[in-house]
Every structure is written in C-alpha cells, then in structure tokens.
Structure 1
C-alpha cells in the first residue's frame, strides 16, 4: 500500500516495550479477540501491517476439551504466527483447568487470554463474560485454575468496568488476577450494560493502573485511530492498548499504530483502489481457510466497514454484500474509481454499537459476591461468542 502524505500526531511518552511473560510486544498493541472476526485469515491480514499480539476468536473451554470440530478449526494458527494467542472462555474452574492443560500438553498456543468481558445476554445469563467478576471467589478460582495448569505459558485476563454503574468490579478483578499470577490485565472501559454504546470511560483505566502495579495494565475502548491510542496512553498511563472495532475494515490501523508508537509520521489513509486490494487479499485468505464459498460469505459482513466513508453507491454496496466468488469480487472491484482518496471523515466507530440495556443475569446472581457456586449449565459447547 502506498504511503502517500504522512500525518504528524501529537507526541506522547511511549511506554517501554510491553512484556507478557517471555514475549516482547512491540509496539504495545493487542488485537482484541472478536467473535466471527479474528480468525486466522483476519489475523494474517492485520499482521502484515505491524507487530503486536494478535488474539484468536473466543474458544469455549468445554468445547475445546470435547474436541468440538468447529472449535478445533477455529484454533488454526498461521505457520509464522508467533506467539500463538488464544482466548479462553469458561465459567467452571474444572473445565478451564482441563482446557488449559490440554493447550499446554498439545502445544496448541503460546499465550492464553481469559474472557471476562463479553456482554451478550446468552453469555451473561449463564454467569459468564462480564457477569462473572462480580462473583469474586469464583473468578479467583477460574484464574487460579488457568494459571496453575498453564505452567510456563503466560495467562492474561480481560474484563469490563462492571455489570452496570451500581456493580463495578474492575478494581477487584484486576487485583485478584494479578494476585493469582496473571501476566497482564486489560480493561474494556465500559460496563456490560453499556455493551458497545456511548463512550468508554478512560479514567477507569487510569484508576486500574494505580491499583494494579505488579503487572502491565492495558486499555481498551474507542481506539479508532493512532492518535486515539496515544491519547489513551497519555491520559491513563496504561502500558499498552487493545484494539477491537477500530480495525474493522481498517487492518492498516496496525501500521499506523506501529508508526505512532515509534514516534514516526503516520502514513495517510489508502485510496479506494488500495482498500480494494486489501479487501481482495482478505478474500483470498478467507478462501484458503474456509474454502471459497464459505470464505466469501464470511467476507460479506466486512464490506460496509471497508467502504465506510467512501463514495461507493448503494447498488454497488449491495452487490458487494452479496458476493459469492472471487471472480464476482474481481468484477465488482473493476467498477470502482480507484483514484478516490481516503476520506477525512472515514474514521470513527464501526461494528457493534447499539444501545445500553439491562444485563441478563442468573437468578439471584447479585445476592452474594463471595458465592463460588458454578451456575447450572454454565459452560456451553459453542465457541466464538
């Protein structure tokens, strides 16, 4: 991709190299695991633009232990992917321990992240995701089971501010995770009730950084540009950033982040023709992973994100959203005006936003935060969120 005109960003004191266990993460940037997004194809694409840590989709502990075929396919890693980073979800300490042991014994990954941030009802109603840190003792037992069975493999923990404004959990979660041996903690600075709406509260990241001093603290939420990442570090003192929706349709964001954290000018955004080349590469990688038919169907959800802000007409957008083959994709790309420059207003939120909502919880979940009982039917056989 041509660099074009470069952009100079406001400077910031850049964190020293982020270390997660034995792994140096330089620049201190992590791709957040996103269900249906961060498969091996998307990670390969993003890694072409910069170094960092790239985490696969959420894997359910029970599904892994049961060797669910879909789950085993989801833990595919590229030959050159190092470290191989897997996110594990579980509500039962026993299942989490068994899954972690399997990961180590069968050399399935080099780093494991733990999911305590998912806000979707099908997860929280079983006590999982962002609901779980409220149960401090159960949370502790799950992290302990992972760390003890991980041996030398580093374990990190990602969570939200809390269930809602009346039930904040992040400070306790950060302290417990560090006490139990997690190598880093990451905070998505929203409550579960916010889901992906509104603004992330970066001040909570700063408070977590003050409370947890023994391991790196990473910040997540509303990083849609390299300047956003620098601003988060400047405002919170966090040791690194976790990027989720900001890279949807913008995998070159990792190039921008690498330049920004090195104090270099950030390249201008790509032309429409260059974006089309990125999209075509994404299609090839998905086809190689899942076959052309399934891969191209999976690509459809990315189309609006790639064309976000560009003057691509409605009929053309709809045609891209129905693409079913590489040839059809090539034909559509051929109709684009490839000289169109990157629009200034193309940055900003993409992907899930929605609105705030009451969090669905198991019956009596808020009664006793020290209750370590595993909810009935909590661990499911479905990976990916």
Structure 2
C-alpha cells in the first residue's frame, strides 16, 4: 500500500501518477459563505466591492477579508443564446397570431427556416463511443420533448424539428409544412410527464400589485399585533413596578415590594387584567384552518404525518438542484426531493423566476418547497399562496423553512442561519410570564394555520459560530403542536455544521445525536407524536448513510454534496452497496440529464444552451468523483483529496478532467456544437480554468 499524505484518497498503485493531492474547490466559499451572492433561479450575481473594506486598499485588507473572497467566481454572467433570426412563438407553434401585422415579431416562416441552423441529433451512448469522443454526425433524430409529450410546443423553433414535421406538396409546387401531434402520447403525458405548480400570470399580477387576498394571514397577523400590544403593556407595567420597588428600597421601607409571586396581585390591582390574560395565552393553541374551508379549524393531530423513517432525502440545492437534476436523482432512487430555496419576499412580489422554483415533475413522489424569510409577515403569506395555488392540485407535500442557509445575501436579511440567532434572541422570559415563541415560532405557527393539512418542516445548522451550538434549544421547542406549547413542525433536518465552520471540517454528528435525544426525551415526557429528524453532512456512500442512521439515532440522512458529486449515491443507499460505476454508466446518466434539461428548459436554441449551462454546472461537481474501483480502501470519504491518477479508460479520464472546456466538450456529445458566444465559468475558482496548451 502506498504512503499518502493525511486526507488523501488511497489510489491503487497501477492508477497512481503522484501521491501529491490535487487542489480541491472551496465548497464553503462557493456556497456563498465568503460574500458571494446568489440571485434568483439559482443564478449567480456580480458581487461588486462597493465599500472596498471600509475604504482600505487591497494591500491593507486583512487575511480574513481576502480569505472570504477566495473560492468563488464573481461576475458570472450567462446570457441567453438565441437564433440570429427569430420568429413569433405562435407562428412557430403552428397557430395564428392574434396581433397579425401589428405583432413586433417576425411572421415569415420560410425566411426563418432558411436561416435556422441545421437540426441536431441526440445520439445514443453507443454512437458517442463508437464515433470517438469527438461526437457523431448530426442527422435528423427523435425530439426528446415530442417523445415524452406527444407534441413539441416549440414547433418550428425546435432544433429537432424533423422528428415532428410533415411535408406535403401544395398546388403551387411548394411544400406545405405542418406539425405532427401524437394524441395517444399526449394523453398519457398529461398524467405521467406534465409538470405541475404553474402559477398563472393573473396570480403573479395580483401579487405584484399587492392585491392578492390573504384571508387567513391577515387574521393571524392581527392576532400577533394585538398580542404585541399586550406584551408592550406588560413591559411598561413591569418597568413601573420595578421603579416603585427601587424607590421603596431607597426610602428604607422594610417591605420588599413586588416579588415575582406577588406580580399577578399587583397587576390586578392596577387594572392590568388584559396583560394577565396575555400571560396565560399560549400562542401555539391558535386554531389552524384548512385552506379549502377557512372557517373550519384543523387540529395539529389532523396534519399530514410524514412517515420518512429510513428514506433518502435530496437536499435543496441552489443552481444545480433544479427540476432536471432532481429527475436524475429520482431515476437513481431518491425518495424525497425539495425545490431550490426561494426568498419569501420574491414570491410575494410575483417574481416569475422565483415561482419557477416550485415546479414539480410527476416522478417526484414526495416533493416540498423551501422558502427563506425573516418575519411572520413574509413567511406566512407566502405559505398561504403556496397552499392556495399549489396545495389544491396536490403539488406540494410539505413546505420547508430554511434556517440554515449561510449565504451572506440571505443571512444579512435575518433569514437562513440567522434565524437561529434571532429566534433565540427574540425569546423574552420574564419570571412570571409563560414562555412566548420568537419570530421563528410565530412564523411556523402561522404557516401551519394557512397551510391546512400540509406540514411545515425546518432545516437548521448547529449554530452560527463555532463552539456555540444552539440548535438543541430550537429543536426541542419546535416539536409538539396545539396545546403542547410547541410550533408543530412536521420534520427537522439538522446540518452538523455552524455557519462559520468550513467544509474542510467534518460535520458534528455527536451533537446531532445529542439534539435528537433531547427531542425524543421531550416527546416521551409529554407524550408527543414523534417527528422525523434527519441529519445532514458528509454522507458519501451507502455505508455512510446506514451506519449514520444506526449510530446517531436519526430517521434518515439528507444528502447534498454527495449527490452533486455522485448522483447515483441514492442507488447505493437503496441497494445497500458501493457501486463501482463505469464511465459508460456515468455517461448514460449525463445523457439522461441532458434529455431532462431539454424537456424542462426547451428544445429551441435558447433552451438547448440553458440545458448546456446547467449540464456544465452538474459536471463541475461530478468531475470530482474518484472511481471507487481505483481505491485501495473503501468506503470513499467526501473530504479526501484525490492524488493525480489515471482512469481505466479514455472516457473515465475525460470525466475526471477539471478543465471547464472539457465539460463543454461533453455537453456537445448530446447537445451539438456550442455557440461561439457560449462560455461556461463555474462557481469554484479552483476548477475555472481552460488548458493553456
């Protein structure tokens, strides 16, 4: 066995080039922990350094500031690539345009088709391998969208047009072109393939103009306002009593006034009955309403129970975790999926990009929507819209509140992992007053009201700063429902890291177990129904998943980076094996992801290159997979750095390339040549280069 530096993957001698470990991307910085910003729809925005470190020059910046800006590429721009000569979408779909000559788009179909690039061909993996890694000849082929849906809504704009076009001679000697529709496939696709959770333009308009009716939310927020007023009155009364007590002490009175046990009597004498009533009020006992029948309350016990024990859960992932990638993971066997994180404020502003994040494919058996917000007056109305627009069609199974996002853009608004701090700091515990929930608790209670039977789940980090774990306090408060002085969460996921901690440190699974045991103890003491608790952090194999569940008492493991690097991890988990996946099998998964991308983003020029962009995003993680057949010791560990190695074949070498130009090359195998204007820049600086010769 070779001698490797600590933290280096043990590659067998016959595949080893050098024991020196290769540089690895900084996942923490790329996730946004170092100041990066993530814009909507998973797109990265430029991070302009307006302040420049408080007026200091670059040389004067501290090491911490420099470190904070390492690892992530700023100024990523991915503009849409369109046909040089475009055409009206309705004409392209084979229907009349109601605007006629007044339409601002081109209606000349023949001119458009004459200028349109040649059709593309989606080859099989066999054809790719037989034709060499330079790709195959582009010939007419099947259209992925037509094959799945029985029709292609992109019509004449489709780059696989010859698969669904009929040509017939006309009387004047020219050809008549018509689009083909397969009615049988179309009917079947309505059930098996059609995405759901489309939010109509009218709903978006009502949200943008702030005219959307929030019936239940408005009622709940009024309750909170009244409660806040009573709390303010209570605070004034406590200050007055404290001042009188201090004054009596200064005057030398022998009687100590207003001890805690005398508080209620004093308050009653001073006419503070309303305040006393507030102290006895348990906010969590507020009635919960079913969206379909707002006047009929729903008890916590009637909420849909989440039976998730032993299931695999794909983490909500920005940028890469879109619908096509989730479909790929489903094909590998994942049980639970969740959409990319969306901001509550953007949902409420009717953002088209934000609402695209809630789309669900029928193959997603258990699907949730994740939202981030910092106040009940944004989280609760967002939940109400989700319930009304998506819940009625069975489009969501749960709504997850992100209390663990480390991204600066999210954290600095008081969302994400900032909720851990704020919700604890917001708790006010006077000696004679019942414990009142903080903003997070109030938001979750309100969300439970407006969501009806749909459960609310939360995702937490262990804390914000290293050495100051706080998740246990939140988790024990979050369980239980109406009447049990809890928040009524349906599931808790705990990422075993603080916001401050970097990915180079392993997740703290001992603390996760401590939190699980604390929650289970409270549930046992108060006879509460148990909620599923998932852990998150460093799961990279079937062994990791099953040993973690057994050792740390969690109901399951949420998988994030492990799924990005090897989406087939869910097959390993389900089949209890370590899969030495071949390069051919990996390429088949890449082809499948390309097809799913075309189905979701479109088969026109713009859709193909959007698919290409997100395929390259996925490859910017998958290249980091080190085939386990090359290792001396199993299982592989996620934080082990790979030494310089050679694969077992040419394709395995290509799939391991950190050169972003090679990822574009792989995309060209299935999506055709990339346009000259197409440039892919990944998140991570350490894999952002192209070979210089």
With the shorter chain as reference, the TM-score category is 0.7 to 0.9
1:54/1:353 CA distance change after superposition, 3 Å: farther
The Cα of 1:61 is off from its aligned counterpart by: 1.4
- How many Å separate the matches in 2 of 1:26 and 1:47? 18
- How many Å separate the matches in 1 of 2:457 and 2:321? 18
Q: 2:575 aligns with which of 259, 269, 276?
A: 259
TM-score of the pair, normalised by structure 1: 0.75
The Cα of 1:285 is off from its aligned counterpart by: 1.0
- Find out whether 1:279 has 2:562 as its counterpart: no
Relative to total residues, which structure has the larger strand share, 1 or 2?
1
The Cα of 1:105 is off from its aligned counterpart by: 1.0
The Cα of 1:128 is off from its aligned counterpart by: 1.5
Matches within 5 A, 1:183-194: 183-194=490-501
SS of 1:113's equivalent in the other structure is: strand
| Structure 1 match to 2:474 | 173
Q: 1:321 aligns with which of 663, 667, 671?
A: 663
- How many Å separate the matches in 2 of 1:215 and 1:167? 25
Give aligned pairs, total.
313
Matches within 5 A, 1:83-232: 83-107=366-390, 108-136=395-423, 137-178=438-479, 179-213=486-520, 214-232=530-548
- How many Å separate the matches in 2 of 1:236 and 1:58? 27
- How many Å separate the matches in 2 of 1:53 and 1:175? 24
CA contact (8 A) 2:615 2:667 kept: no
- How many Å separate the matches in 1 of 2:337 and 2:669? 30
| Structure 2 match to 1:246 | 562
SS of 1:302's equivalent in the other structure is: helix
- How many Å separate the matches in 1 of 2:657 and 2:338? 35
The Cα of 1:331 is off from its aligned counterpart by: 8.6
- How many Å separate the matches in 2 of 1:150 and 1:267? 40
| Structure 2 match to 1:70 | 353
1:26/1:231 CA distance change after superposition, 3 Å: closer
Gaps of 5+ in 2: 1-124, 126-302, 424-437, 480-485, 521-529, 602-606, 628-646, 648-652, 675-682, 687-693
Determine which structure has more spread, i.e. the larger CA radius of gyration: 2
CA contact (8 A) 1:300 1:320 kept: no
Higher relative contact order (CA 8 A, sep 6+): 1
The Cα of 1:328 is off from its aligned counterpart by: 5.8
- How many Å separate the matches in 1 of 2:534 and 2:578? 25
- Find out whether 1:28 has 2:329 as its counterpart: no
- How many Å separate the matches in 2 of 1:40 and 1:292? 15
- How many Å separate the matches in 2 of 1:95 and 1:63? 10
The Cα of 1:71 is off from its aligned counterpart by: 1.1
- How many Å separate the matches in 2 of 1:65 and 1:324? 39
| Structure 1 match to 2:343 | 60
Q: Deviations over 1:83-126 (max 9, x none)?
A: 33111111121111101111111124221111001112222122
CA contact (8 A) 1:296 1:324 kept: no
- How many Å separate the matches in 1 of 2:508 and 2:309? 25
TM-score of the pair, normalised by structure 2: 0.43
The Cα of 1:277 is off from its aligned counterpart by: 0.8
SS of 2:594's equivalent in the other structure is: helix
Root mean square deviation, CA, Å: 2.7
- How many Å separate the matches in 1 of 2:590 and 2:673? 13
Gaps of 5+ in 1: 2-19, 261-265, 333-350, 355-385
1:158/1:315 CA distance change after superposition, 3 Å: closer
The Cα of 1:188 is off from its aligned counterpart by: 0.2
1:324/1:296 CA distance change after superposition, 3 Å: farther
- How many Å separate the matches in 1 of 2:350 and 2:536? 31
- How many Å separate the matches in 2 of 1:143 and 1:125? 21
- How many Å separate the matches in 2 of 1:162 and 1:232? 21
- How many Å separate the matches in 2 of 1:169 and 1:123? 19
Q: Deviations over 1:23-81 (max 9, x none)?
A: 44364211110101221111111111214111111011121222201012221111232
1:97/1:168 CA distance change after superposition, 3 Å: same
SS of 2:496's equivalent in the other structure is: strand
CA contact (8 A) 2:368 2:397 kept: yes
CA contact (8 A) 1:205 1:219 kept: yes
The Cα of 1:222 is off from its aligned counterpart by: 0.6
CA contact (8 A) 2:399 2:455 kept: yes
